[in-house]
Amino acid sequence: MPTIKAAICREFAKPLSIEEIEIADPGPGEVLVDIKACAICHSDIAFAEGAWGGVLPAIYGHEAAGVVEAVGSGVTAFSPGDHVVVTLIRSCGDCHYCRRQSRVMCEEVFPLDRSAPLKSPGGEEYEQAMRTGAFAEKALVHESQIVAVPSDIAFDSASLLACGVITGFGAVANTARVSPGDNVAVIGCGGVGLNAIQAARICGASVIAAIDLSKDKLEAALEFGATHAFDPATEDAAARIKALTDGRGVDFVFVTVGAKKALDGAFDLITRNGAVVVVGMPPSGVLAEYDPATLASWNQKILGSKMGETDIATDIPALIGHYRDGRLKLDELITAPYALEEINEAIAAVKDGKALRNVIVF
């Protein structure tokens, strides 16, 4: 088993420790990836703080890119040296959900799910958090979790395609299927929210209203394609949005933050036939409220969107096409690079709202 360095979470809400661990060799259908970049997602932070429970000790990090180092038996689509994006979406292609084009909900239990491929030199097992464990020099994943990318795309930019981009973009393009002329609002303008805004622009939305408490993030939202930007602490976003839409409200509201207030307030922004699309996940136990009578009589909807309902084999290449054509911003999402040994500083900057995406580079 190769020995690598990784960032370990041993106690929730405590700094991660950098330790040497062992990683298994690839088995059938598995791929060992030499990680070159791993962005820090808010989900990593929430898990490390214990927001959704989980098993410790654990290795987080799920938004990665790197180079294929070795492949297991039966792997024919990838070879050592390939540049790849590494995602948490592990799918069999043949279960109830995969056959219905919902690979993010695959119900197959893989060997990597049954036995952790990460251990200490003394044999202690580490949780491969979110099926990736990419806050480490290498990651062992199932072949369904990776997509080849052109070698001229920088690893830090490519890593963003693993989660933040596909989650925000897919919520708009796949879950809501926004059409030209639709009006939308996006609550939360971090990495996922900005990609929802980009998707709305590319899909041809008319009004694209960005809502956030951060002046810097609202400015970024305008640069990424928002037509209007509102701070709900200083102005009545619902009234402003109604004024922009002939008093009706928007067709879709994308809630990309896991805050109860944002989830509750989203229903004030939608029109008849409108939908609230829940993208961000609050901590376990947080419940949102809505008026079911209005929901029914106005034909409104609540839609969940996990990972943008992405099929990585088709959606990521399409996003790369948008990036190459200048329609999709990736480089602009990166705030700063950090070494693995600086991961706690990188996480702190994200928690303080000072970063869109900090990236660990190897």
Residues 227 and 93 reside in one and the same domain? no
Total Cβ atoms within 10 A of residue 27: 16
Residue 310 lies in a domain: no
pTM exceeds 0.75: yes
Give dist(CA 306, CA 104) in Å, integer. Answer: 7
CB 191 within 8 A of CB 164: yes
Q: Give the helix/strand (H/E) hosting 223.
A: helix 215-224
Binning pLDDT at 50, 70 and 90, where does residue 172 land? very high
Q: For position 22, which CATH number holds?
A: 3.90.180.10
Question: Per the domain annotation, does 313 fall within a domain?
Answer: no
CATH of residue 257's domain is: 3.40.50.720
CA–CA separation, 323 vs 325, rounded Å? 5
> Rounded mean pLDDT of 113-139?
95
Question: Which tokens in the block code for residue 156?
Answer: 């830090």
Q: Is 330 helix (H, G, I), strand (E, B) or coil?
A: coil
208 and 279 co-located in one domain: yes
Q: Are residues 343 and 206 in the same domain?
A: no
Query: Do 47 and 115 fall within a single domain?
Result: yes
Please determine, for residue 352, whether its predicted confidence score (pLDDT) is greater than 90: no
pLDDT at 354 over 80: no
Pairing of strands 17-23, 30-39: unpaired
Q: pLDDT value at position 1?
A: 80
323 within a domain of the structure (yes/no): no
Determine how β-strand 118-119 pairs with β-strand 17-23: antiparallel
Helix then strand then coil, % of the chain, to nearest 5: 35, 25, 40
Q: Is the model's pLDDT at 270 over the cut of 90?
A: yes
Same domain, 74 and 126: yes
| Predicted confidence (pLDDT) per residue in 197-212, tens digit | 999 999 999 999 999 9
Percent of the chain with pLDDT over 90: 94
- Residue 28 within a domain: yes
Among residues 289, 305, 321, which one ends one of the domains?
A: 305
Q: Give pLDDT, residue 188.
A: 96
The dihedral region occupied by 330, where left means phi > 0, alpha psi between -120 and 50, and beta the remainder, is: alpha
Residues facing 205 on adjacent strands: none
Q: What amino acid occupies position 78?
A: F
The total domain count for the chain is 2
What confidence score (pLDDT) does residue 284 get?
Answer: 87
| pLDDT tens digits for range 236-245 | 999 999 999 9
Please give the structure tokens belonging to residue 1.
């088993």
* Residue 252 sits in the same domain as residue 283: yes
Q: Could you tell me the residue range of the domain that residue 120 belongs to?
A: 3-162+330-361
Q: Are residues 100 and 244 in the same domain?
A: no
pLDDT at 319 (0 to 100): 98
- Provide the pLDDT confidence category of residue 250 given band limits of 50, 70 and 90: very high
* Residue 93 lies inside a defined structural domain of this protein: yes
The pLDDT value given to residue 116: 86
Same domain, 145 and 286: no
- Closest Cα partner for 78 from 88, 66, 89? 66
Q: Is residue 47 part of a domain?
A: yes
What confidence tens digit (pLDDT) does each residue in 85-101 have? 999 999 999 999 999 99
User: 103-119: string of b/e by CB count within 10 Å (b at 16+)?
Assistant: bbebebebebeeebbbb
The answer to whether residue 355 scores a pLDDT higher than 90 is: no
Verify that 35 and 157 share a domain, yes or no: yes
Mean pLDDT is highest, among 24-38, 110-124, 279-293, for 24-38
319 in a structural domain: no
- Give the model's confidence band at 353: pLDDT under 50 very low, under 70 low, under 90 confident, else very high: confident
| Statement to judge: residues 48 and 119 lie in one domain | yes
| 222-233 residue pLDDT tens | 999 999 999 999
Q: Please give the average per-residue pLDDT across 38-52, as a whole number.
A: 94
Give residue 119's Cα distance to chain centre.
26
Same domain, yes or no: 13 and 58: yes
pLDDT given for residue 149 in this prediction: 98
How would residue 2 be classed by pLDDT, with cut points 50, 70 and 90? confident
Rounded to the nearest integer, the mean pLDDT of the chain is 96
d(CA 42, CA 322): 25
| Separation between Cα atoms, residue 39 and residue 287, nearest integer Å | 29
Same domain assignment for residues 147 and 265:
no
Domain assignment present for residue 114? The answer is yes
Polymer length in residues for the chain: 362
Per-residue model confidence (pLDDT) at position 105: 98
